[in-house]
Every structure is written in C-alpha cells, then in structure tokens.
Amino acid sequence: MSDVVKRTWYALSIADVLFLVLIAGIMPRAKNGMLDDPGLGWHLRNIDAMIAQGGWLSEDPFSGPRRGAPWRTNQWIGDLVLRFGEAWGGKEGIAVVVTLVLAFTFRLLYGMLRVDGVPWPAAAGWTVWAATATAMSWAARPNVASLLFIMLVARACVGFHEGRYSQRRMLWLMPLMMLWANTHGGFAAGLLTMVGAGVIELGIALLTSNAETRQAARSRVLVWAYLFPGCVLATCLNPYGWTLYTWVFKLLGNSYFLSLHTEWFSPDFKAPGGIRYELLMLAVPLLLAVSRRRPNLVELGLSLLWLHYALSSRRFVGLWVLVVVPMLARLCLDVPVLRDWASRVSLSEGLRQLLAGSSSRPRPFLWSVAIGVGLLGWARVTDDYAGHNPRKIPDRALGWLIEHRPGKTILHDYNWGGYVTWLGWPETLNWIDDRTEVQGREHIEEYFSLANAVPGSETILDERGVEIVCFRPKTPLISRLLDHPDWEMIYEDDVAVILERRISSEPAKP
C-alpha cells in the first residue's frame, strides 16, 4: 500500500483548509449582525416553553396581548440546535453552531464540485463566491439549514436526471424532507424543486423526438410519480401532521404579513454586498454564451426557477446561489478562452497534478470535525466576542429594563420583541414580535397607530394597562409622552428611550 493511501485518513486536505477559511470569514459576523435577527429570542425560548409545558406548543406563551393565540413549534430541531448553542456557550455558542452549519454546507459544496471534475483552485473559488453571495442569510435562525437542504435536493434532482443517482439512492430524499420539515418551514422550497424537476422530466418524455431519451425520461417520471408523494407524506411526520401546511401557508399566502419584513422584498443591488450576488446573476448568461458545454434541462430549469424567486425576494437569494453554482462551475470547465490560456501556461507535471488533485472520492472529515470541536471549546470559555448592533438591538437598554422592571407591561419597538422574550420570559412578556401569523393584522395595525401617536393613543395605553414605553428616541409616541404629566423618563441613550407611567400619589376616591 502506498504512503499516499496510508495517509488519507488523517491527512489535512484542501477541503479542511477551506473549512477553516470559511469559519474565519463567517465568524466575525457574530460581532455585528448574526445575532440581530428579531426572531432569535423566541426561537431560543420555544424549547424552554416546550419543556415547561411538557410537549409541543399550540398556543403562544410569549406575547402579552396575544397570549393564547395559535402558535406552532414546527421548527423545533432548528430551535433545539440554537438552544444547545446558547446553553453551551451563550451568545458565542449560538454564533459557533450557526457558523459551523454554514461552513459545513459550503464544504459539502466544494466536495460536490470536486466530484464534478472541477480543479480544486476553481472549486475553492466558486465555493468562496457562493459563501459571500449568501452573506445576507448568515443569521442565527433555522433558516440557515434550508441552504444545506436545498443544495442537497437540487443535487439529487440533477444527479438523477444524469443517471448518477440511482432510483434507490433517491429514496433518501424522504427522510431528508422529514428532517427539513421539522427544522425549518423552508421545506416547501424542496418540494417546489422536486416539482420543477418532475415537470421538466415530463416535458422531455412528451416532447423529445429521440426514442431513447424519451424512454429514459418516462422512467424518471414514473419514479417521481411515487417519490414526490412519498416526500410530501414524509413532511407530515411532524408534531402537527398535515396541518403544518395550513400553518406555513398562513404566512406565505398573506401579502400584508410579507410586506412587513424586508427579507420578503426584492434584493437591493445597491446595498453593501449586493455586487456579490449581482455578479453571480450576470455570470449565468455570460457562461451560457461562451461555454461549449450545454447544461441539461433540469439544472438549467431549476436555476431559472430559483432565479425568479431570488429576484422577487432577497430571502431566496441564498437558495438560488446554492442551486446555480454547481452548474456555473461545470460550465467553466469548457470555456475555450480558459482552455487556451491553460494550454499556454507552462507548468511542471507535479504542479499540474497538484492543481488537478484527486476527485475520485470525498476527503475524510477528520480535521474538519476537529476544527469544529475546537471552535465549540473556544465558545465555552469566551464570553465577550459575540454581540449586537445597538442600532438594531439596543441590548444595553433592554437588558437594563428587564433587570430593573421585570414583569411590567411593556410597549416596545416591533423589532425588539424577540429580545424581550430572550431576556425576560417567562416573567416578562413582549408586546409584539415578528411572528406576524401570531400577532394578526388588527394587533399589528394598533401597534403602529400607537407608535405613531395617533389621536387617542393615551387612552389606548390606559385601557391596555401599559406601564413602560420603550422606543427609539425620535419615535412620535416618545415625543408626545415626554410632554405628558403621567409619564417620566427613566432611561435614555443614543438608541433607546424608556418611559414609565408615574404612580399617582392622590388618595383613591371612595
């Protein structure tokens, strides 16, 4: 046995080095941005509420005015991973588990590209580009798992079309979809991807003139005919059964709810970092034009399908990136200009072999696992690395409020409800958070009318028993209540002002 073979199980590979580089690039986001998602707090406390109740939740335990409204903890696996991170290492632990999920996803992408025959320098380059293009998805929420799942589902669809995935191998999509449905509501994206692949296969079976191609497509259509229903049934293996679909589409089917969150808006190409995914979008027609390789209809169709969704909502940009990058990397393998350039470059045989590397099988994960364990160990002993952007989450003000006024009825900024739940539940309940399907349109509209200090706001505050008001300094309600004799300021900094209702010293009337 050669020395190379003997060393493979413990040798540090390019994939391991890339894994470390990805961690180094993603982890700094923990200082400013990764932990600022408005929903992180209730994701963490979902697990605590489930433990307290002794089972799955069906009613909301977090919002005071909406307590008892319908609520589902269908993302319990994703929530459990985040809660483990918090229990293990606080904010640093949360950031580490999110970083590891992302880095693992991109390490798998690199391995897929290598199996496709992409030289490791190019595969590493495409992987880094894919990682940076998905940066807007680097948030501590179960959403990050959907990046991994969509990549695996799209890979299976393309591999099955090409004959690289057998019918038997495709069966693993069913347990994968079951896992996805219990991790994040984005599992609907996986089903949509399968529908897209199945429709393309059906089109080939009906419209192609080549008898052999037509027969092969028909065979694949028959597989999809039982595999897709099997995957749908697999997603029903969750705490809420088939009613999970009505819950998920309660949000996705409501245009008012979607209009409240910027993640459902079209991507802003002028925003910082927008150029990363804009260039990737521009690379699609360019490489299709200059490459001699013609992509198969499934990979092209799925890329266009998710491009449509990426252009309609920034939430889908990351999903599109993981679907399209394998196709673009393979297109680059047969670009005449690049081939001519490579043929003119004088390289030694050893250097050529180094650049080509071996793509016969994935490299072991030993060192990547060791790196991950080491990062978890670091999170255990570190408590001052991860943090919040105070312009998004005024953690100092909210921390002071929960510490000094626990259990009070607090009217606060819409985006701060999750953090109030994170720090204060179960003693302190939030007034509103980003779970629009829980809050309901009527309560949301009342909240905005209060924040904007419409006439009669003081009366509503009295009727609702609001004791504390906590908003940004220039919020209209703050400006009005500062001049009101029944309210006094108890906290102020650059990003938040806290007012408290004065306790009347007059004796009660008989």
Cβ partners under 8 Å of residue 249, min gap 6: none
What pLDDT does 379 receive?
Answer: 97
Domain locations in the chain?
Answer: 118-362, 395-501
Q: Give yes or no for residue 508 having a pLDDT over 80.
A: no
Q: What is the pLDDT of residues 25-45, one digit of tens each?
A: 999 999 989 999 999 999 999
pLDDT category of residue 252 using cuts at 50, 70 and 90: confident
Q: Give yes or no for residue 349 having a pLDDT over 80.
A: no
What pLDDT does 307 receive?
Answer: 98
Q: What is the pLDDT of residues 52-68, one digit of tens each?
A: 999 999 999 999 999 99
What pLDDT does 107 receive?
Answer: 97
Within 13 Å and on the Cβ side, how many CA atoms surround 108?
14
Range of weakest confidence among 158-167, 258-267, 335-344:
335-344
Q: Give yes or no for residue 4 having a pLDDT over 70.
A: no
Q: What is the mean pLDDT of residues 359-374?
A: 80
What pLDDT does 109 receive?
Answer: 98
User: How far apart are the C-alpha atoms of 13 and 446, rounded to whole Å?
Assistant: 57
Does residue 426 have a cis peptide bond before it, meaning omega lies within 30 degrees of 0? Answer: yes
End-to-end CA distance of the chain: 98
Beta bridge partners of 410: 468
- Secondary structure of residue 440 in the 3-state scheme: helix
HEC string for 317-360 = HHHHHHHHHHHHHHHHHHCHHHHHHHHHCCCCHHHHHHHHCCCC
Q: What is the average pLDDT value for the chain, to the nearest integer?
A: 92
Q: Give yes or no for residue 147 having a pLDDT over 50.
A: yes
Task: Decide if 217 contacts 208 (C-beta within 8 A).
Answer: yes
Query: Would residue 294 be called left, alpha or beta, if left means φ above 0 and alpha means ψ between -120 and 50 degrees?
Result: beta
User: How far apart are the C-alpha atoms of 265 and 52, rounded to whole Å?
Assistant: 37
Q: Give yes or no for residue 427 having a pLDDT over 50.
A: yes
Q: What is the mean pLDDT of residues 297-313?
A: 97
Q: What is the mean pLDDT of residues 468-482?
A: 96
- Secondary structure of residue 127 in the 3-state scheme: helix
Task: Decide if 348 contacts 305 (C-beta within 8 A).
Answer: no
Q: What is the mean pLDDT of residues 301-305?
A: 98
pLDDT category of residue 212 using cuts at 50, 70 and 90: very high
Nearest Cα neighbor of 183 from 311, 309, 109, 97 is: 97
> pTM of whole model > 0.85?
yes
Q: What is the mean pLDDT of residues 418-445?
A: 97
User: How far apart are the C-alpha atoms of 426 and 88, rounded to whole Å?
Assistant: 21
Q: Give yes or no for residue 509 having a pLDDT over 60.
A: no
Nearest Cα neighbor of 435 from 46, 112, 135, 55 is: 46
Other Cβ atoms less than 10 A from the Cβ of 478: the count is: 22
Q: What is the pLDDT of residues 99-142, one digit of tens each?
A: 999 999 999 999 999 999 999 999 999 999 999 999 999 999 99
User: How far apart are the C-alpha atoms of 313 and 262, rounded to whole Å?
Assistant: 9
